[in-house]
Amino acid sequence: MKEKIGFIGLGNMGLPMAKNLIKAGYTLQVYNRTASKADELEQTAVTVCNSPEEAATDVQYVVTMLSEDGILEEAVSGEKGLLKSLKQGAVHISMSTISPETSVKLNALHQQNGSHYLTAPVFGRPEAAAAQKLWICTSGNSSIKEAAKPILESMGQGVVDFGEEPGNANVVKIAGNFMIMASMEMMAEAFTLGEKNGIDPKKMADFFGSTLFNAPIYQNYGKLIANKQYEPVGFKAKLGFKDARLAFTLAQKSETPMPMAAIIHNRLLTAIAKGQGDKDWVEGFGHGVTDDAGL
Ligand code: NAD
């Protein structure tokens, strides 16, 4: 049996990630807003907690997989936040997709507390998380990253480092999600063009995915878009919109013109305006484009 880890956030991603930590031999102190989510975990390996503070008590590592910046900040420095209990020298592994500014801020709070902050956002949908196939990007203090590696490796197929600055891995994650969203918009437009001109979009997706665009994003998202397969919901459109907003904001702050960011931002804003924020982001792009085209 390995050590006990705090784990906060059992959503679409957090739940399969927590399962893999248990599979790797860790025991967990879990906190989730809806406590019943923990019922899906191996009960002998889990202690269910009432707050982030409780989940971070007496552990060397606490992992967070919450939805967005403000919610993570509350879980760290709120009234019952993890900083209330996290011991000196302990490490907070922060795996949500958030802004680099939030990581810089949380890193400073941990420094004041005598604890450490490790940025470790992930690529991969819930199915990839379940199959331990996430790609994990890291940034932060080198020795902390090295020590935390076995924990990260229990949740993914690879860990790639981007330096010591706490916000670096967030920049890479935001840039990567921008590329995924732009690819979805592009595929939805191309397949719709085919469909309106008598070509089977599924055949187009198969062809491109196995030849010119032979890469996981085009293969996996291409199939979902071409098949108009939008369920089960793996990643909510409203969280995708959060990432489009993060990309747009970062582009503005760093004076980086990104015309495509405006397009994907609008696409998901439209989905949200139509009440589809809790549907999958693939539907936001796929259905958004076919709807515009009158299909
Ligand atoms: P989710 O909506 O399924 O889960 C969100 C988690 O945050 C849950 O544990 C929920 O209880 C908690 N939460 C939400 N609002 C809260 C509040 N007001 N107070 C307390 N807790 C609250 O989201 P997810 O898909 O698991 O994504 C989690 C993070 O991982 C996000 O930052 C997301 O961008 C990122 N991410 C998701 C995917 C994916 O495919 N789903 C892939 C890579 C990264």
The 10s digit of each residue's pLDDT in 229-263 is 999 999 999 999 999 999 999 999 999 999 999 99
Crossing angle of helices 168-196/201-210, nearest 10°?
130
Of 163, 184, 207, the one marking the end of a domain is 163
Which of 67, 99, 245 most suits a substitution to test ligand 1, by most atoms within 8 Å of the C-beta?
67
CA 60 vs. chain centroid, Å, equals 23
Q: Is 66 near ligand 1, meaning CB less than 6 Å away?
A: yes
CA distance 80 to 75: 7
Shared domain for 16 and 147, answered yes or no, is yes
Q: Is 52 near ligand 1, meaning CB less than 6 Å away?
A: no
Shared domain for 72 and 195, answered yes or no, is no
Shared domain for 98 and 213, answered yes or no, is no
Where in the sequence numbering do the catalytic residues fall? Answer: 173
Shared domain for 197 and 60, answered yes or no, is no
- Mean of all residue pLDDT scores within the chain: 98
**pLDDT at residue 279, rounded to an integer:** 98
pLDDT at 273 > cutoff 80: yes
**pLDDT at residue 289, rounded to an integer:** 98
**pLDDT at residue 79, rounded to an integer:** 98
Amino acid present at 52: P
Shared domain for 113 and 177, answered yes or no, is no
Shared domain for 138 and 237, answered yes or no, is no
Protein residue with least CA distance to atom 7, ligand 1: 66
| 113 band by pLDDT with thresholds 50, 70 and 90 | very high
CATH number, residue 148 = 3.40.50.720
**pLDDT at residue 247, rounded to an integer:** 97
Shared domain for 260 and 144, answered yes or no, is no
Q: Is 11 near ligand 1, meaning CB less than 6 Å away?
A: yes
CA of 11 to the centre of ligand 1 (A): 5
Protein residue with least CA distance to atom 27, ligand 1: 67
CA distance 276 to 191: 22
Q: Give 35-48 pLDDT, tens digit per residue.
A: 999 999 999 999 99
| 219 band by pLDDT with thresholds 50, 70 and 90 | very high
CATH number, residue 275 = 1.10.1040.10
**pLDDT at residue 119, rounded to an integer:** 98
| 144 band by pLDDT with thresholds 50, 70 and 90 | very high
Shared domain for 137 and 179, answered yes or no, is no
Of 143, 163, 183, the one marking the end of a domain is 163
Q: Give 40-73 pLDDT, tens digit per residue.
A: 999 999 999 999 999 999 999 999 999 999 999 9
Shared domain for 87 and 232, answered yes or no, is no
pLDDT at 1 > cutoff 90: no
| 269 band by pLDDT with thresholds 50, 70 and 90 | very high
Q: Distance from first CA to last CA of the chain, Å, rounded?
A: 55
Shared domain for 137 and 234, answered yes or no, is no
Which of 51, 79, 119, 239 most suits a substitution to test ligand 1, by most atoms within 8 Å of the C-beta?
239
**pLDDT at residue 217, rounded to an integer:** 96
Report how many domains make up the chain.
2
Q: Is 9 near ligand 1, meaning CB less than 6 Å away?
A: yes
| 2 band by pLDDT with thresholds 50, 70 and 90 | confident
Residue range of the domain that includes 175: 170-292
Q: Give 129-142 pLDDT, tens digit per residue.
A: 999 999 999 999 99
Q: Give 154-163 pLDDT, tens digit per residue.
A: 999 999 999 9
Number of the ligand 1 atom closest to the C-alpha atom of 8: 9
Shared domain for 180 and 119, answered yes or no, is no
Q: Is 10 near ligand 1, meaning CB less than 6 Å away?
A: yes
Of 145, 163, 181, the one marking the end of a domain is 163
Q: Give 187-211 pLDDT, tens digit per residue.
A: 999 999 999 999 999 999 999 999 9
The pTM assigned to this predicted structure is 0.97
Shared domain for 10 and 151, answered yes or no, is yes
